Chains A and B, each alone.
Chain A
Amino acid sequence: MINYLKNRFQLSDSGASEIIRAIVSGALLAASNMIPMIIIMLFTQGLLEGGLPSLQTFIILICGGALVMFVLYYVNYNDTYTVVYSEAKTLRINLAEKLKELPLSFFSKHDMSDLAQAIMKDITDIEHALSHAIPKFYSNLIAFVLISVLLLVWNVPLGLSIIIPTILSFAFLYLSKSIQIRETNKYFVKLRENAEKFQQAIELQQEIKSYRLEEATRKDVAASIEDSEKIHIRAEFSQAVPVTLSGFIARSMLGVTIFVGSILYANDGVTLLYLLGYILASSRISEAILDIQMNFAEMLYIDSRIKNIRSINETAIQSGESAEIRDTAIEFKDVTFAYDDNHVINGVSFTAPAGKVTALVGPSGCGKTTALRLASRLYDYDQGEIRIDGRDMKNIATEDLFKKISIVFQDVTLFNTTVLENIRIGRPDASDEEVKKAARLANCDEFVGNLPDGYDTIIGENGGKLSGGERQRLSIARAILKNSPIILLDEISAALDIENEKKIQDSLNSLIKGRTVIIISHRMKSIENADTIVVMKDGLVEGLGKHAHLMKNSPTYRDMIEKSQLTDAFTY
């Protein structure tokens, strides 16, 4: 049972056993709800058959019953509501811990903020279900089965007049769910289409306005909205009948009991006392059924949330043995990689020698950026090997690998803390002085000086207060501080202003001296002196060597150089 719950709802050990406790106390509680009914029945029996107990007895019974119920409700409240928040705490912390173990490629494949939002929202939903639907569903179910057995034993026809509507009601609910799944699929497809249209209308608003396409766009999107309204109405109504029937049947249980009961009573098939008992029972059970159904719906709803969490929990963690890397040369051997079906790297081999600069060049879409990302393990290559220090990179523990590698890419992630702490991430045990020295070498001094609190300025969510060039320089400062022998560098695109570009170049010079460097540059000029230039085209290596050699042997390289010279010479 514990294992079932654990796996079914992705709970922790303690969480699952707490839920079982909540289910048990919930079932007892559901049974205790019969106490007032029993008291009423005792009273009725006394009146009908004589021997009515005294008022004092009833007052004692009522107080005693209230006390028992109070204790059960209190215990159950603690078992569910209170326990749930500590379970949710555990779930969140476990997930956070799990994320730390996941391979980098997991994060490259998912949208970060979606991932975070999903984790938060999913757990909040599960939290709600844990405190409401899940324990209640099971405990009500248990109580319902027990009570049904009793009702059947006492009087079969009256028992059936409660049980049959219950089963019918569930059957219709189930029917409506399967209709819903089928029908709403159509609706969801339409919704996605609408979302795409909205997104396009927003993204293309410059074009729409400057070419006066407002009216056409409005008509197009509005028609799509109206269309989806119609589909939605159809989807909703096809299940409205079974849903209403289901609720109606549950509510009409009382009527059925009365009807069957009055016939039985007229034919002496049941005593008045029992008839009244069944009337009372059916009035309570019909409300309880509606409750179970609501909880059931919530459990269905959180299924997909649980699936999300499960997929994270079941993602393989990155493995690898620890190794001290001495030789920092990086060797690509017949490496292939595809995003889904899109083959980007189709067998690339080259060596980036230790202590030298290797440049990757090629037309856009040639795979150079992907190759760099493979070397940094942001993606895991499909076939072939990337070797470092004589081992396949995949077999080296990532901590050991990343001890030796610094990555400076165009997209820089910053934390909502001070400038100093953001740089210190490069080497957490660095002193303030060392951090500031790295910042100076990365040309950060000047813009940091202009911030209100200098190095102690908090830079906002993901460093929102800084410009692109400033972010880039901070990430270079991190890398300088880290002082690792391997540098993977994706030079920021030329769309920066000149002053920033010059400063970034200066800071790069102090970063790469004497290291093993793999660089992608967007200006041919800047990599002309590289020790090795790898020319890539269509996911393959077209040429390999120094500038002079490639000018003779690589048509792609020659084209790119010529183009860049033409661009430099161009005037309007």
Chain B
Amino acid sequence: MEIYKKLLKYVPEKKFLAIFAVFLTAVATVFQFITFRYLYQFLNALIVNRNAAEGKHAAYVIAGLLLAYGISYFFSLIATHIVAFRLESNLKKRGLENLLKASFSFFDRNQSGRIRKLIDDNTEQTHMIVAHLIPDLTVAALSPILITLIMFSVDWRLGILFVIMLIVGTLLIFLTTGNQQFMRKYALSLEKMGAQAVEYVRGMPVVKIFGGGLESFTSFYNAIIEYGDTAHAYTLSCRMPFVLFQVILNIGVAFTIPFAFAKFGTGAETSEIIVKVIFYTVFSGLLYNCFMKVMYVGMYKLQAGDVIDKIENLITEMSEEEVVFGSETRFDHYDIEFSGVSFKYDDEYVLNDLSFKLPGKRTYALVGSSGGGKSTIAKLISGFYKLNGGEIRIGGKQLTAYSQEAVMRNIAFVFQNTKLFKTTIYENVRIGRPDATREEIMKALSLAQCDEILAKFPERENTLIGSQGIHLSGGEIQRIAIARAILKDANVIILDEASAAADPENEYEIQQAFANLMKGKTVIMIAHRLSAIQNVDEILVVDAGKIVERGSHAELVKLGGEYKKLVDLYYQANVWAVS
């Protein structure tokens, strides 16, 4: 019941259909079992009453009931599948909606492939599970009751025999699947073997190149053996109850014979006894099937629960970090102020109680070793991260007070992992300001040094990017993204200069494109090439989440501190050559 509720919560529009499907399955099951009641009738007519007409009548009813069973079963199947497919779609949409609201830190932490698998592939399993769970659960719940009732209606002794078999069967099935600890151990060793397999395969080239290195093979080997042994031990623990279950359920039909002998003294007709024994033998065969359904239902329930839990956890994780926006639409000025800002990845604080001010309309370069927090500072200004403490103010107001529209219009960023949409170059730039004219777009492309890229393709700015389209190098993608940012013409620009260095061949063009983007704006730049930032308004040296030095290039060099050290290292690294 609980699992029904959990699942149906996601398909409110098909709730009625789901209930109808359960109802239809119930109806089908009833038809199926009543058929057997008429089988009894038929046997009775044929053997006890020796009435051919009555037998024929029963045979017709049986045929009719079978047909009714077939039809209702068919429609219940259709109904459950419709519900199941809708459930799958709705779960995907739910995932999608939350995805579009999640903060950037969620994406920083989770690999895109993993997110997609959880939302897309994971939910895909639901239709299979649900399409089977709904009918099977109904059948499993209804069958024992119906069979018992019909048995009692034929003969109370058969009813009692059946109930005994039911109890013994349930007990043995419980013993077969009951050992939770074994299941957990099994799951653990399976997981361990999987992890070892990944490491083994990934390490294989290394092992081959260096020769030997059997370490990883040994631990994979051990994990395989351990899993095999655990699984073996598990099957051994199930062996006796499962074998007994099958033997007792099969031979059980013959237990009617002692019952029958008990009746001989009571003057009952032998023909009546035959009918009842045969009837029991045929009908109780359904019990085995019903137990199998119960076992499958248990499995489906676990799987369905697992799928829903996975997607719900992901949604919780996404919504916990949902960024909130306010309603302010106007930036009065572009001074940036951090006051007591804390931010952490997982449990590690990258910034802790950081405060500083950056007056607007100036260019700032952040320098320092990786992991020191310079990228984090820049990223937080984008407005798409949720702080763990303190506040960031731009133009005197909290960043969270502005509407998303306002943030979008006034803040632009070009980070390292910029991507393009699978459409034309032109459309990719136009996204920056959808109402821009053609001239404006072409000018932005030109300022971002893209003319040379366009010249490479016959269709120029109308060239398609992506799977069917052309392949661009990292630096070329970067330049188109810069064109987009230039078109947007935001007042605050955040950029990661390392993105330029990642593609040395395009670096000079990217530098110029960045320079065009920065003109007259408030700029926060994560600097990499120290030779290029000598003329920026102010350099901030970030280390261990603190700003340890700030000032112009000349001032900081004179100071002879951390910055001076970095500059010296930079020039040493830059002249290094193999010899």
Contacts and interface: CB of A to CB of B under 8 A. Distances in A.
B285 A283 contact: yes
Interface stretch (A8-16, A324-332, A395-403, A538-546): A395-403
B381 to A, nearest CB: 12
B504 A528 contact: no
B205 A58 contact: no
A495 B504 CA distance: 10
A33 interface: yes
A495 B243 contact: no
Given A402-B208, A564-B504, A526 B578 contact: yes
Contact of A39 (B193, B257, B416): B257
B370 A461 contact: no
B145 interface: no
A495 B363 contact: no
Interface string A283-296: 11001000000000
Contact of B505 (A39, A499, A560): A560
B437 interface: no
A527 B119 contact: no
Contacts of A417: 215
A116 B228 contact: no
B246 interface: yes
Given A364-B505, A399-B211, A85 B81 contact: no
Chain A binding surface SS class: helix
A1 interface: no
B228 A88 contact: yes
A497 B566 CA distance: 10
Nearest to B279: A279
A96 interface: yes
| Closest 4 pairs between A and B when the two form their complex, measured CB to CB | A89-B228, A116-B201, A428-B212, A497-B370
Contacts of A519: 578
Interface stretch (B326-334, B390-398, B506-514): B506-514
B211 A495 contact: no
Contacts of B250: 33, 35-36, 69
Max chain A C-beta neighbours (<10 A), residue from B209, B253, B363, B579: B209
B501 interface: yes
Contacts of B121: 195
Of the listed residues A194, A228, A265, A497, the one surrounded by the most CB atoms of chain B closer than 10 A to its CB is A497
A20 B52 CA distance: 49
B201 A233 contact: no
A425 B508 contact: no
Given A47-B270, A207-B431, 4 more contacts: A113-B202, A244-B73, A280-B281, A564-B504
Contacts of A405: 209
Interface size class of B (residues with CB under 8 A): 35 or more
Nearest to B576: A505
Given A201-B96, A210-B412, A572-B518, A498 B570 contact: yes
Interface in B284-323: 285, 288-289
A203 interface: yes
A115 B200 CA distance: 11
A525 B56 contact: no
B560 interface: no
A421 interface: yes
Given A47-B273, A213-B431, A560-B505, A266 B52 contact: yes
Interface in A251-281: 251-252, 254-255, 258-259, 262, 265-266, 272, 276, 279-280
Contacts of A560: 505
A152 B28 CA distance: 32
Contacts of A566: 508
Nearest to A294: B292
Nearest to B102: A205
Contacts of B99: 201-202, 205
Given A255-B63, A363-B505, A399-B211, A501 B216 contact: no
A376 B205 CA distance: 11
B59 A262 contact: yes
Interface string B112-156: 110110011100100100000000000000000000000000000
